[in-house]
Structure 1
Amino acid sequence: MKSTLATGALLAAAVKSASADIPDGVVQFDVARRQPHPRLLRRASTTQTDITNDLTQGGYFIKCEIGTPAQSLTLQLDTGSSDIWVPASDASVCETSKSNGGCTLGSFASDSSSTFEVVGKDEFSISYVDGSHSDGDYFTDVFSIGGSSVTNMTMGLGSDTDIPYGLVGVGYKTDEAIVSDKQSLSAAYDNLPIVMLNEGLIKTNAYSLWLNDLDASTGSLLFGGIDTDKYHGDLTRISIYKDSSTGVFTSFIVALTSVQAVSSSGADTLTSTGFPVAAVLDSGTTLSYLPQDLAQEIWTEVGAVYNSEAGAALIPCSRASSGGYLSFGFGGPGGALINVTMDELVLDLTSTGNAPTFTSGRYAGQDACEFGIQNATTDPYLLGDTFLRSAYVVYDLVNNQIALAPTDFNATSSNIVAFASSGAAIPSATVAPSQAAVTATSAFTTPAYAAATGFSSSSSTSSSSGSSSGSSSGSKSAAGMVSVPMDMIHVGLVSMAMFAAGGMLVL
């Protein structure tokens, strides 16, 4: 995703300590799952907000407060964009009755805030690849998350928008919408992570993301540190790459260098003429999008079929119980390796529990689900929530590195380690040893599809790299971090009339 600011508006911040038991420089946002219906060196605060998981929509959301007096909104967390923006309460999309949609996650009434100030009239403008958009003013106001508050935070106000919820972008400030609109890096402003650093909430511009599994009720976003109890094995550092057209760091592009399909019947190394694949780690994208040749190989292995009416690859819902998994490698031999199981990749198409069914073909009569890996025709490709749930991810915007490790699903203990200082290396992470040599495009060869049979059965193949860590439910952030609780909400699954409860699919 992508975002914008008013030229010259600064993000001055006044921080209030929300919790006296959190050491210096720590901000943590906890994550809680929302059930579906059927993006200072002084003492810091812990910010608690729920992340709700609504399987019919997609995305990870944080509960925030804006203005004076505070107005509550739930905004999508997005590592693929860089601005905060909110829908205006008088936007047409919000005035729609709740029974027909509307801004059910909240909107902002600027007239009701005594601290609201416009800093860029008609300068906020953002659009997305699906054709949706948001336009309006840049403004400053109080922004609070889980008890920590910043004053004069620059945000966009979507007065003309067709998106019924706002976003919290935490990417590079060079990806702010104002930079694109003005065609100038000098138009960039300090966004949320930089404000946290400038105000001493965290010691460096870095954060770690633990989304947990598809059915989980907890997860977290931790600014300024890592939680070593939330992953298995060791963190591996890989480089973030500059945007090929601008020559600057704008998004979290990493080198995907291998994919393997593994099941009870065998294993296959998959190939693509696109290797190494430039892939963006983007929490604002529900699904994952890979090159056509690679996506097609994956579909053949797991039994997914592309449906032109849906414009997506679909799969029998029963395949979620397959013990097969896909193994994603980053940074070449010896680099990070993340295994994604089928129960994280088979997604419901409706919220009612009544799945549409295939009416013909080899799956006739079976319930249909959406597959979490789709095809794309151009780079950079996207690794969204269907991948990110299986990885513990550390984003280091100072050293331009990502660290990855297999997630510890539903971990109950916490061991938070802070970054020592601005620019300090990611704690407990080692560098991928061969990533400097990752440059060549591999030849495309058709795999034997030895794993395909195993994906059609309920095997017990395991992709876990360790046992659950600990049993303590206590959690305490260390110095130099901000930990944020979030609510998980899935946005962007296939939504069309043909997928209404009880609908039929013809293949």
Structure 2
Amino acid sequence: MRSKSPRRRRVLKPNMEKRLSETVPMSKLHEDQAVLYTTIFVGNPPQPLDVQLDTASSDLWTPISGCTNCNTTLIQTQSDHTSSLFNISSSTTFIPTSRGVKIAYGDGTGVGGVVSKDTVSVGDFVVHNQTLIAVESVQGQFDTAGVFGLGWPTLSTSRGNPWWINAIDQFDEPEFGLYLTSPTNVTIAPAGQLTLGGRNESLLDGEPQFVRLLEQSFWAVPLTQVTVTTNSSSATNTASTSSSSATVSLAGDDAVAILDCGSELIYGPTVYVDAVYASIEGAVKNEADGDDDDGWLLPCDTRASLVFSFGTVDVVLPSSLLVQPSPIAQSPATSTSRTSTSATPSTTARRYCSGTLVGDNDASTTNGASPAWILGHAFLKATYTVFRKGTSPS
């Protein structure tokens, strides 16, 4: 659990100069769930709400006191001063409209509510008349008091600008930086930090390398290839040199990836994911249930790492982020070993872990699905990411 202390909030006056950037901490409900959240304040007087951050959507929504089937006992308020819902009757600046909307998410959950407006602040940045959805019904379970979309306006179901677009005139730079803690660095914050209006220079090694944004909807970038490298030394030694490599090239619609802090793993077209694992020594296809999307197992102590190439920019996914932390098998005899040289039953007594790279049969050119690749927490932990708006968004 995390502790919080009340903070003094300033209201931006029309003649006020731009503020500098501000960093707010992020927390995570469970290590194996893609629920990154931070605290926002909604209404007047402001009501603190823990909301999930999502770079793959653009709407801000929160359940309200009149929600008919919202089980607020399932919403984790983390034993702090935050609320599990937004009490609209307590806000003097809440403005409802007559337009109802529904949002459906890829995992089968969804919400329905009324498009509304109110004052919303994050840290010291305040946006008046921010469009939000006052949720009156939900489908499935949500563990936070809403979702805070950080995508582009074209993704918005409410047809309103996402909060960061409305706040950008207050930013020192038209950007926000996202840092997720990795297994080797948990000292920054419980799950990482969100820097609004800039970046945390202390976490950067030199200037960031920007990648061209393909379109202003998702944060979609061109992913040109994935390279498997096998290091000759231990998996935890980042200074080791590569002893072998194999490259999987991508083209067309299959070369599109989105950065999604609302997803835990890395998803790509099954045909390419299978090709990547086929180049990793000791990797085995998990065929226990006869499902092509069951995923892959690989030795927990694998020395393989992946290099994701975005044109001239490379991001290395170390072996520590290629495997999920909990071992699930000892020498899985029911699976088939897939290596670059053979396909034989696995007999070596080793601990096996699930891979963080998962194949998705629906993410393929033939099925017309886009984007092909979803880069979730497992990828974002490997790099500091700056999301920037400008004449050439990146």
- TM-score > 0.5 by shorter chain: yes
Corresponding residue of 2:238: none
Whether the aligned pair in 1 keeps the contact of 2:103 and 2:157 (CA below 8 Å) is yes
1:371 counterpart letter in structure 2: G
Rate the CA distance shift 1:68–1:17 in 2: closer, same or farther, 3 A: closer
- Aligned to 1:298, what secondary structure does the other structure show? helix
Indicate yes or no: 2:1 matched with 1:17: no
Deviation of the 1:122 alpha carbon? 4.6
Corresponding residue of 1:453: none
Deviation of the 1:392 alpha carbon? 1.9
Measure, in 2, the Cα distance between the counterparts of 1:118 and 1:17.
22
Corresponding residue of 1:167: 147
Whether the aligned pair in 1 keeps the contact of 2:178 and 2:195 (CA below 8 Å) is yes
Rate the CA distance shift 1:82–1:329 in 2: closer, same or farther, 3 A: same
Corresponding residue of 1:191: 162
2:60 counterpart letter in structure 1: I
Deviation of the 1:42 alpha carbon? 4.4
Whether the aligned pair in 1 keeps the contact of 2:24 and 2:195 (CA below 8 Å) is no
Deviation of the 1:108 alpha carbon? 1.8
Corresponding residue of 2:343: none
Deviation of the 1:17 alpha carbon? 3.2
Match of 2:114 among 128, 137, 151: 137
Measure, in 1, the Cα distance between the counterparts of 2:95 and 2:114.
7
1:256 counterpart letter in structure 2: L
How many pairs were matched up? 337
Rate the CA distance shift 1:45–1:87 in 2: closer, same or farther, 3 A: same
Whether the aligned pair in 1 keeps the contact of 2:254 and 2:269 (CA below 8 Å) is no
Deviation of the 1:365 alpha carbon? 8.1
Corresponding residue of 1:29: none
Rate the CA distance shift 1:267–1:159 in 2: closer, same or farther, 3 A: same
Corresponding residue of 2:4: none
1:104 counterpart letter in structure 2: Q
Measure, in 2, the Cα distance between the counterparts of 1:121 and 1:346.
48
Question: What TM-score results when the alignment is normalised by the length of structure 1?
Answer: 0.59
Corresponding residue of 1:239: 212
- Aligned to 1:283, what secondary structure does the other structure show? coil
1:123 counterpart letter in structure 2: G
**Percent of paired sites with the same residue:** 23
Higher mean C-alpha deviation, range 63-72 or range 285-294:
63-72
Deviation of the 1:240 alpha carbon? 0.9
Measure, in 2, the Cα distance between the counterparts of 1:44 and 1:88.
33
Deviation of the 1:190 alpha carbon? 3.0
Measure, in 2, the Cα distance between the counterparts of 1:196 and 1:348.
38
Residues 9-48 of structure 1: pairs in structure 2 closer than 5 A: 16-17=9-10, 40-43=16-19, 46=22, 48=24
Higher mean C-alpha deviation, range 363-372 or range 75-84:
363-372
Measure, in 1, the Cα distance between the counterparts of 2:250 and 2:351.
31
Indicate yes or no: 2:259 matched with 1:281: yes
Indicate yes or no: 2:186 matched with 1:216: yes
Corresponding residue of 1:202: 171
Indicate yes or no: 2:227 matched with 1:251: no
Measure, in 1, the Cα distance between the counterparts of 2:284 and 2:29.
24
Residues 10-409 of structure 1: pairs in structure 2 closer than 5 A: 16-17=9-10, 40-43=16-19, 46=22, 48-52=24-28, 54-89=30-65, 91=67, 94-95=70-71, 98=73, 102-105=74-77, 106-115=83-92, 117-162=94-139, 163-164=141-142, 165=144, 166-178=146-158, 188-198=159-169, 201-214=170-183, 216-217=186-187, 218=189, 219-242=192-215, 249-263=216-230, 264=232, 265-272=243-250, 277-302=255-280, 303-307=283-287, 309=289, 311-316=293-298, 319=300, 321-331=301-311, 335-348=312-325, 356-357=328-329, 360-361=333-334, 362=346, 369-376=353-360, 377=363, 378-380=369-371, 381-402=373-394
Whether the aligned pair in 2 keeps the contact of 1:125 and 1:134 (CA below 8 Å) is yes
Measure, in 1, the Cα distance between the counterparts of 2:21 and 2:90.
24
Give a deviation string over 1:358-377, Cα, whole Å, max 9, x none: 66433798666432111233
Whether the aligned pair in 2 keeps the contact of 1:17 and 1:45 (CA below 8 Å) is no
Measure, in 1, the Cα distance between the counterparts of 2:19 and 2:176.
18
Give a deviation string over 1:54-109, Cα, whole Å, max 9, x none: 2132232112222344333211111111121112355466426x4xxx11245324
- Aligned to 1:239, what secondary structure does the other structure show? coil
Measure, in 2, the Cα distance between the counterparts of 1:313 and 1:75.
30
Measure, in 1, the Cα distance between the counterparts of 2:33 and 2:307.
26
- Which protein, 1 or 2, shows the higher relative CO under an 8 Å CA cutoff with sep ≥ 6? 1
Deviation of the 1:260 alpha carbon? 0.9
Whether the aligned pair in 2 keeps the contact of 1:262 and 1:326 (CA below 8 Å) is yes
Measure, in 1, the Cα distance between the counterparts of 2:350 and 2:68.
40
- Aligned to 1:267, what secondary structure does the other structure show? strand
Deviation of the 1:203 alpha carbon? 4.1
Whether the aligned pair in 1 keeps the contact of 2:265 and 2:358 (CA below 8 Å) is yes
- Aligned to 2:121, what secondary structure does the other structure show? strand
Whether the aligned pair in 2 keeps the contact of 1:64 and 1:72 (CA below 8 Å) is yes
Deviation of the 1:250 alpha carbon? 1.3
Rate the CA distance shift 1:296–1:93 in 2: closer, same or farther, 3 A: farther
Deviation of the 1:336 alpha carbon? 0.5
Structure 2 segments unaligned to the other structure (5+ residues): 1-7, 78-82, 233-242, 335-345, 364-368
Rate the CA distance shift 1:147–1:231 in 2: closer, same or farther, 3 A: closer
Rate the CA distance shift 1:325–1:68 in 2: closer, same or farther, 3 A: same
Rate the CA distance shift 1:145–1:203 in 2: closer, same or farther, 3 A: closer
1:17 counterpart letter in structure 2: R
Deviation of the 1:238 alpha carbon? 2.1
Deviation of the 1:50 alpha carbon? 3.5
Question: What TM-score results when the alignment is normalised by the length of structure 2?
Answer: 0.75
